[in-house]
Amino acid sequence: PIWSGCVVTAYYNLNDVEFLTANVAIAVGKTGSALRTNNADAQGATVWDVIVLGEVSLQEGLNGLYAITQHDYNFKAVSFLDDQTGFIVGDKGIVLYTSDGGFHWQQQLRPISCRTFAVEGCFSESNHGITWNDVVAMRTDIANQFRVVLIGAGGQMKVGMATSYGDSNNNVWLWSNRTLEITTDLKAMVFADVNHGWVVGAEGVILKTSDGTATWIQQTA
């Protein structure tokens, strides 16, 4: 294959990239880095635009609520199930959802809460402020039904389900935890189809599902 340089006017430490179409992709990384292609410029080089998310969540501090912007998050992974619907995940329990191809994003799950951010760190009643390391979005075998799988630190896994009724902007994601008998960090996953997938992690952990994330079996190398 032939690789060529891209026009990026600033330095970004990027962790993941996902193609929405043959010409459009979204890349994410540290300090809230989020970039989106806008096809090719007149010289044939791919140009990347910065995605501005604004105030992603509100945090609880000693002096009341204050805003945390995207630069306070490290984005770990991005996944799209089609050219419109996708997710970005990262540290501090952040899960972002778009239904318009990455131009606008909204937060899923419950925003984390912080107390004296620089001293005590962050916690969350709903997701414990864990780092989500990977995300996979897919369509299921049921018409108009979607699934998204999150994996992260401490053996955490969460699955979201949604059904489309013709307007993707009205998708409501229902989230549930998957209880795994491990506590090691889960790093990456891949699915061969809607039922068969693998998750890998620290300390040589390999997990396999054959029933669409309902159950997982640990494998050995």
Q: Which two tokens stand for residue 36?
A: 């989106």
Give pLDDT tens digits for 25-62. Answer: 999 999 889 999 876 555 555 678 888 876 566 555 55
Q: What one-letter code names the amino acid at 1?
A: P
Give pLDDT tens digits for 190-206. Answer: 999 999 999 999 999 99
Report, as an integer, the average pLDDT of 163-181. 72
Spatial distance between the Cα atoms of 136 and 148, rounded to a whole number of angstroms: 6
Chain-centroid distance, C-alpha 216: 21
Better-scored residue on pLDDT, 114 or 143: 143
Residue 111 has pLDDT above 50, yes or no: no
Instruction: Identify the CA nearest to 150 among candidates 132, 162, 138, 169.
Output: 132
Report, as an integer, the average pLDDT of 123-128. 43
Q: Which two tokens stand for residue 217?
A: 């079996």
Q: What one-letter code names the amino acid at 207?
A: L
Q: How much is the pLDDT for 44?
A: 54
> How buried is 123 (Cβ within 10 angstroms: 0-12 exposed, 13-18 middle, 19+ buried)?
middle
Got the DSSP string for 123-158? E-TTTTTPPEEEEEEEE-SSTTEEEEEEEEGGG-EE
Got the DSSP string for 42-67? TTS-EEEEE----EEEEEEETTEEEE
Q: How much is the pLDDT for 105?
A: 86
Better-scored residue on pLDDT, 109 or 21: 21
pLDDT band at residue 66 using 50, 70 and 90 as cut-offs: low
Q: Say if residues 85 and 144 touch (Cβ distance below 8 Å).
A: no
Indicate the range of 137-141, 154-158, 166-170 predicted with least confidence.
166-170
Residue 19 has pLDDT above 80, yes or no: yes
pLDDT band at residue 12 using 50, 70 and 90 as cut-offs: confident
Q: How much is the pLDDT for 127?
A: 42
Q: How much is the pLDDT for 149?
A: 95
Residue 114 has pLDDT above 90, yes or no: no
Q: Read off the pTM.
A: 0.80
Q: How much is the pLDDT for 10?
A: 57
